[in-house]
Amino acid sequence: SPATEGEYVSKEQWGSRIGVILAVAGSAVGLGNFLRFPGQAAQNGGGAFLLPYFISLLVLGIPLCWAEWTMGRFAGLRGFHSAPGVFSVVCRTPKARYLSVFALLIPLVIYMYYIVIEAWCLSYAWSYLTGDLMLGADPDAYNAFFDNTVGAKADGHVFGRGSSLLIFIGITFILNFILIYRGVAGGIEKFCKIAIPLMVVCALCVLVRVLTLPSDKVVAGLGFMWNPQPEALLNPKTWLAASGQIFFSLSVGFGVIINYSSYLSKKDDVVLSGLTASSMNEFFEVCLGGLITLPAAFMFLGVSVATFSTFGLGFNALPNVFAQMPAGQFFGFLWFFMLFLAAITSSLSMLQPVLAFFEDGFNLERHASTAVLGIIALTGSFFVIYFSKELKALDTLDFWVGTVLIFVLAMIQAVIYGWVLGIDRGEREAHVGAHIRIPHFVQLLLKYVVPVYLGAIFIAFCYLNV
């Protein structure tokens, strides 16, 4: 019968049901919701983007998220927490572990650049406290501030050589590793339980501030972001971007959820927890991210916002916006502090799967795994900082790892769930401990539609790109 082989009790367990939901939501809600989503939507059809976006959410995102929760717990009950273990136990062959390399590589690579942007957020929050970021309306002042903060331009490196930034990178790094070291319940879960409610409060304050600016401006700003450009729907890139955004945002297809859910027990409800965490993410993304970042930028900067890169939008355009609105210093602080919290709850979830791999795969103790991981992550970030010559490089890395590779991994996971574990087994496992049922057609979606849908977009995209 389902899950009865699970005599094994893992050393690590989540402390509470709400705790694990908040931890997964913490992973999902991040810079992707507030910076990446508005950028993607604006570049890919504005309001029309929501169509492929919600189709991807319903057809790919939520079903795959359930599949990941199910496979993760399935493997966790048998003593496996890292992707190689999960893949081997679900596929019943140790060879399957080779398929899981992406599930370790993707979070690790994303971590290496994500952490730097996390440090930017902390540094910007600090600059609001000190008042340094209230620079008036001239866009050049913000470009200069940014270049100065991240230590850019002199020799063409724009990513993080600023000496004061190194302090913030250091703080961010240490905080990440302290929390990881404390374990899933004692570190990640405890932190998320405080951070998420705090983020909601901060983001709602900023939203109210933005929406109570003069109403003609508000309407124009919302219109800029959301006016639909239906012709974008004919471009496969729009569909790739929409599903890429769904995966990035929900943290699906990264190897993160299979790891987090491997610390669950038979009593846990993976169906409801998965749905709740995903819904929280959508609230943050569409209602908060979608209504704040780009509309606010447009209100003050006009069409020039279209020329900003995703990160330029967050770090050059928005500070200018805050400087021009009443009480901007306070709201600017709230915003960047909120971004920092959102980022750290996400970056923790990029580390934990790799940490679990060192613990499972090499039998390392927690302190040894944390140390090894720390060295690898630090070295990687160092390369990102020193060798990315322009901000666009970041968008490029983000595209290849954050969109394309995730696709591949999502495809592998869908095939493993639908065809190797099998949807009958999967459906039974998912419902162990569940209070609500997943409609049966979702299993059929996972088996037939998801692989074909992913494959079709991917092929169309490759074909058009060559």
Least separation in angstroms between residue 344's CB and ligand PFF is 11
Report the residue number, 310 or 349, with the smaller CB distance to ligand PFF. Answer: 349
Indicate which single residue of 146, 173, 254, 461 sits in contact with ligand PFF (rule: CB under 6 A).
Answer: 254
Candidate segments 31-39, 131-139, 195-203, 262-270, binder of ligand PFF by CB under 6 A = 31-39
Q: Are 205 and 331 within 8 A, CB to CB?
A: yes
Cβ nearer to ligand PFF, comparing 23 with 75? 23
350 near ligand PFF, rule: CB under 6 A: yes
Site for ligand PFF in 142-181 (CB under 6 A): none
Smallest gap from residue 350 Cβ to ligand PFF (A): 4
- Cβ 16 to ligand PFF, closest distance in Å? 22
C-beta of 107 vs 418, nearer to ligand PFF? 107
Residue by residue, DSSP assigns 10-70 as: -S---S-HHHHHHHHHHHHSSHIIIIIHHHHHHHTTGGGGHHHHHHHIIIIIHHHHHHHHH
50 touches 237 (CB < 8 A) = no
Torsion of CA 15, 269, 78, 25, to 10 degrees: -60
Q: Is 341 exposed, middle or buried (0-12, 13-18, 19+ CB in 10 A)?
A: buried
Q: Count residues contacting ligand PFF (CB under 6 A)?
A: 16
CB of residue 36 to ligand PFF, shortest distance in Å: 7
**Binder among 96, 117, 256, 411 for ligand PFF (CB under 6 A):** 256
117 is an interface residue for ligand PFF by CB under 6 A:
no
Q: Specify the DSSP element, H or E, that contains 94.
A: none
Binding span for ligand PFF by CB under 6 A among 137-145, 250-258, 263-271, 380-388: 250-258
- Examine residue 107 and tell whether it contacts ligand PFF (CB under 6 A): yes
For ligand PFF, the closer CB: 23 or 297: 23
Integer-rounded Cα radius of gyration of the chain: 21
Indicate which single residue of 248, 298, 333, 336 sits in contact with ligand PFF (rule: CB under 6 A): 248
Taking the complex as a whole, the smallest distance from the CB of residue 2 to ligand PFF amounts, in Å, to 28
| Residues in Cβ contact with 441 at an 8 Å cutoff, skipping those fewer than 6 apart | none
Token pair listed for 399: 């595209």
* Residue 220 in tokens: 């124009």
Task: Determine if 38 is a binding residue for ligand PFF (CB under 6 A).
Answer: no
How far, in Å, CA of 295 to CA of 305, rounded?
10
Q: Are 110 and 381 in contact (CB under 8 A)?
A: no
Token pair of 442 as six digits: 């979702």
Min dist. Cβ of residue 107 to ligand PFF (A): 4
Nearest to 22 by CA among 248, 192, 254, 257: 192
Asked whether position 110 contacts ligand PFF by CB under 6 A, the answer is yes
What are the residues binding ligand PFF (CB under 6 A)? 27-28, 30-33, 107, 110, 248-249, 251, 254, 256, 346, 349-350
